[in-house]
Chains A and B, each alone.
Chain A
Amino acid sequence: EPEVTQTPSHQVTQMGQEVILRCVPISNHLYFYWYRQILGQKVEFLVSFYNNEISEKSEIFDDQFSVERPDGSNFTLKIRSTKLEDSAMYFCASIAFGIQTQYFGPGTRLLVL
């Protein structure tokens, strides 16, 4: 069965550094998402992306965050200057179209020191 993949699985970075989290959504999917989950807390929506532009974003998704689909397969989340509170598991997800099954990736665990 097709799956969403994410790299790296773990990343440790220093506060203030830039990080790029990578995702390969399921091919032929059209809607892409980033979520985060701080340890022990609920999943939080960051941003949704469709037709090469952001369709929705949360208040968490401030100027420090950006997303990009640089080619036909990758979908990236960039955090420009990481803060301690950015430490979390970051999940990418995709949907083919409409109200269909949303598939999540395995996540990238980000630790900011």
Chain B
Amino acid sequence: KNQVEQSPQSLIILEGKNCTLQCNYTVSPFSNLRWYKQDTGRGPVSLTIMTFSENTKSNGRYTATLDADTKQSSLHITASQLSDSASYICVVDDMRFGAGTRLTVKP
């Protein structure tokens, strides 16, 4: 059973709109939770890092939240751009990867 589940599997939004991606995990305890952006055929690129005690972390238009009680994290993308089209991956403790959310931003 996968310990990191992401939803939705895919998402299409219009340029300029906001969106929120979800990550539910069962790993406990854990040290850190990361969000990555991965373009097709490329290596993942770090967006945010949170320790188990942090609730929120921002990086430009990306804001990640973490609720350790419900074991949920979210990634909010503000004012989406065409270049945001990619897969977004949630990772717990550098070892447990979600399957990712495939985001497509359309003009």
Assembled-state Cα–Cα distance A42/B100 (Å): 7
Total number of residue pairs linking A and B with CB closer than 8 Å: 47
Assembled-state Cα–Cα distance A33/B36 (Å): 16
Among A41, A99, A106, A107: residue with most chain B CB under 10 A: A99
Is there contact, CB below 8 Å, between B45 and A104?
yes
A42-B89, A44-B97, A45-B95 known; A102-B46 Cβ under 8 A: yes
Size bin of chain A's contact surface: 20 to 34
Task: Tell whether A56 is near chain B: CB-to-CB under 8 Å.
Answer: yes
**Complex: chain A residue closest to B50, CB-CB:** A99
Is there contact, CB below 8 Å, between B95 and A58?
yes
Is there contact, CB below 8 Å, between A45 and B98?
no
Residues on A with beta carbons closer than 8 Å to the beta carbon of B96: 45
Residues on B with beta carbons closer than 8 Å to the beta carbon of A75: none
**Complex: chain A residue closest to B51, CB-CB:** A99
Is there contact, CB below 8 Å, between B97 and A103?
no
Chain A at the B interface: SS class: strand
Is there contact, CB below 8 Å, between B97 and A48?
no
The residue from A42, A93, A105 contacting B98, defined by CB atoms under 8 A apart: A42
Q: Mark A79-93, 1 if CB is under 8 A from B, else 0.
A: 000000000010101
- Taking beta carbons and an 8 Å cutoff, which residues of B are in contact with A? 31-32, 34, 38, 41-46, 49, 51, 89, 91, 94-100
Q: Other than the known A102-B94, A107-B43, what 18 A-B pairs have Cβ atoms closer than 8 Å?
A: A42-B99, A42-B100, A43-B89, A43-B97, A44-B97, A45-B94, A45-B96, A45-B97, A56-B95, A58-B95, A91-B43, A93-B43, A99-B32, A99-B49, A99-B51, A104-B45, A106-B43, A107-B41
Can you list 12 A-B contacts (CB < 8 A)? Answer: A43-B38, A43-B89, A43-B91, A43-B97, A48-B94, A91-B44, A100-B49, A101-B49, A103-B46, A104-B45, A106-B42, A106-B43
